[in-house]
A = this chain, B = another copy of it.
Amino acid sequence: MSAITLIGTGNMARTIGTRAVAGGNTVEVMGRDQSKADDLAKSLGGAATPGKWGAVPTGDIVITALLYDGVVPVVTEFGDALAGKVIIDISNPFNATFDGLAHREETSIAQEAAKVAPPGAKVVKAFNTIFRNVLEKGRPTVFMAADDAQAKADVAAFVRSLGLRPLDVGGLKMAHWLEGMGVVTVGLASNGIGHGDFSLGVNEFST
């Protein structure tokens, strides 16, 4: 069981929160609009509680369930409140045409968030390759990238509590390529598959 704090009250926060509660985790919900945090925590039921925006999260794992351009500003705003926390960045910084990233440099929202995170905070990129409807109903693979082994182990345990398979792709710089896999996922939905009821995963072969 993990203690999770969701920063954000939108659809992704609701979906992850629902699975997290079902998986036996405690869930705190923080929103800039306190009434939305209260409402989401209430509707999640279980061990979900509302938190106060900007306070020290009760969760050891903090999930920034925000649009991509909100992640770095909110990590900056929370500042030392996030010291020592594992921060999961789930965002997809798509460009305006959804066929590339908003940043042209070889970076990622996760790497940029790590630059502004307080001492001891560890940023993990995860969940971004999964459409929300699949996270609601399916059993997608959760790819993750981070520099800190303990942070990845903590996130892996949380992912397993959701009944999902975590797969470590390497260090935090790999977050750039996971964001690229988000772009490929959208490309597949538009071109190769024609719907969004899938996720990128791994097929194993015996030799």
Contact = CB atoms under 8 A, between A and B. Distances in A.
Given A197-B206, A200-B202, A207-B137, A177 B188 contact: no
Contacts of A183: 174, 177
A141 interface: yes
Given A99-B174, A104-B106, A205 B138 contact: yes
Interface string A178-207: 101101100110111100011111111111
A198 B193 contact: no
A201 B202 CA distance: 5
A100 interface: yes
Given A99-B174, A180-B176, A198 B188 contact: no
Contact of A174 (B143, B170, B187): B187
Contacts of A138: 203, 205
Interface in A142-175: 143, 145, 166-171, 173-174
Given A181-B184, A201-B201, A192 B168 contact: yes
Contacts of A106: 100, 104
Interface residues of A, number: 45
A35 interface: no
A170 B190 contact: yes
A180 B204 CA distance: 20
Contacts of A171: 99
Given A168-B187, A178-B184, A200-B203, 19 more contacts: A99-B174, A100-B106, A100-B173, A100-B177, A134-B205, A137-B205, A167-B192, A168-B192, A169-B191, A170-B187, A177-B181, A177-B184, A180-B180, A181-B184, A193-B204, A198-B202, A198-B203, A198-B204, A200-B201
